[in-house]
Amino acid sequence: MTERIITYAEAIREAIGQAMETDDNVFMLGEDIGIYGGAFGVSGDLYQRFGKERILDTPISELGIVGAAVGAALVGMKPIVEIQFSDFTAQAMDQIVNQAAKIHFMLGGELSVPMVLRAPSGSGTGAAAQHSQSLETWFAHVPGLKVVMPSSPYEAKGLLLAALDDPNPVIVLEHKLLYKTSGHVPEEQYRIPIGVSNKVRDGKALTIVASGVMVSRSLEAAETLSGMGIEVEVIDVRSLSPLDMGPINESVKKTGKVMLVQEAPKHVGFMAEVAARIAEGEALYSLTEPVKRLCGMDVPIPYAPQLEKSVVPQLDDIVAAAVEVNRGI
């Protein structure tokens, strides 16, 4: 039987459509998601299928969009917020951090906020410094928020449906470069549990830990490295919060070497947390080399294409760094 192949964007749209067909309380709101179909085409034909009362085009006011979603969630609705660029969440941080993430705790669990916030993340589209950031660490640092970064079409659908089942807010960060990538996605509904890391490639020489677009980039690097006689294991941290260290620790104990790859700047990045947790646990004693972090530079994302590529890890950077770690350089 032939595998069903669709794009990352189509997988997200399918998950939203299936959720809306199943539950009348699910609706979506955001800028240009209606007739226009979304800034990256994700909402597509959902406006035509479900109408303007469930696919709500909003004014350009991220604070207002998220505030409306929090209010709707408190009275039993299940809003899906689309923020046009993850950078624009800065305009809505009070509602995200001080309202959505806190209400369940402040009211002793009497109320929940079943809100999903989706946002395109990362660089690679020539959108420059204010539209290309990787801000996952902002959200992962906030108790009360769950944070996921799907790395494939299969994960995009399964994690989004799981997020919609969650009684409290989930941030779904979708890398822009993944929207047009394709992969196997079942037509039926399925869930990928939030809070579970995933081993996506077996190896014995080195562990690579990555999330989002860096997973596919690391897998591509792994193929190149295999041709050089270096078999690397790749762990997909698809759930940043809660973080599952189990597969990471087991892999590090096996390989004795680990490289942590992220697009975001190195300083106080998410992979620093992963490194700290490795250092705090038994896996530390299996390391034969120091933990290696391969990250974006601590600079705003440039506009010029060649400079944009130069400040975040590319395929050749991952290969070169892995060779160095494997050799103990």
Kindly list the catalytic residues. Answer: 131
CA 207 to the chain's CA centroid:
20
CA 103 to the chain's CA centroid:
24
Provide the strand spans (E) within 176-275.
Answer: 182-184, 198-201, 206-210, 232-236, 239-241, 258-265
CA 179 to the chain's CA centroid:
12
Q: Residue 3 gets which letter from DSSP?
A: P
* Residues 6 or more apart whose Cβ sits within 8 Å of residue 295: 260, 261, 262, 263, 264, 265, 266, 269, 271, 313
175 strand-pairing partners: 121
* Residues 6 or more apart whose Cβ sits within 8 Å of residue 74: 103, 111, 113
